[in-house]
Amino acid sequence: MMDRVQEIFRDDRLIQDFGMKLIEARDGYAKVSAVVEERFLNAHNIGHGVLTFAVADAAFALSANAVSDATGVNWSFNILRAAKPGDTLIAESRAIHKGRRQIVCELSVTTEQGRLLAKGIFTALPVSREQFFSGEKNDS
């Protein structure tokens, strides 16, 4: 599965467009970073919430896919503090449940200095890679 994690990280266009870095990945765990560049500032001149969510979602995708081919189906995410220009965001995702029907991950996003910015619980659905990537539709 770790080859799959590397493949996802390399081929995910958003991860690459946002300049994210993979810090660590192992079975059910991933740590990803992104810098709050000027292009990621909102109208209030703080880090856009989309960047905070995106770095968390990238860590989630990598940690879940380190367990099984999976796709995200539910996100509960709270942004507690704003990211500042120049901050390096560190997202960590840890699988707290690795079932046959769902993978549940606990997430946190901090600054490089350890300031907590966001917390969440994300859920993924294990999928058949062949079915998922072949474009077959599953209405169940």
Instruction: List, for residues 12-63, the tens digit of each pLDDT value.
Output: 999 999 999 999 999 999 999 999 999 999 999 999 999 999 999 999 999 9
DSSP state, residue 95: E
Q: How many domains in the chain?
A: 1
Q: Is residue 137 part of a domain?
A: no
Q: Is residue 100 part of a domain?
A: yes
Q: How far is CA 43 from the centre of its chain?
A: 24
Asked if residue 76 belongs to a domain, the reply is yes
pLDDT tens, position by position, 58-76:
999 999 999 999 999 999 9
CA–CA gap between residue 138 and residue 12 (Å, rounded): 23
CA dist 33 and 58 (Å) reads: 9
Domain enclosing residue 101, as ranges: 2-132
In a domain, 140, yes or no: no
Reading the block at residue 105, the tokens are 């991950």
C-alpha count within 13 angstroms, C-beta hemisphere, residue 53: 9
- 79 domain-assigned: yes
What angle, 0 to 180 degrees and rounded to 10, lies between the N-to-C axes of helices 2-11 and 49-65? 150
CATH number of the domain to which 115 belongs: 3.10.129.10
Residue 81 per-residue DSSP state: S
pLDDT digits (tens, 9 = 90+) for 78-104: 999 999 999 999 999 999 999 999 999
Position 50 in a domain: yes
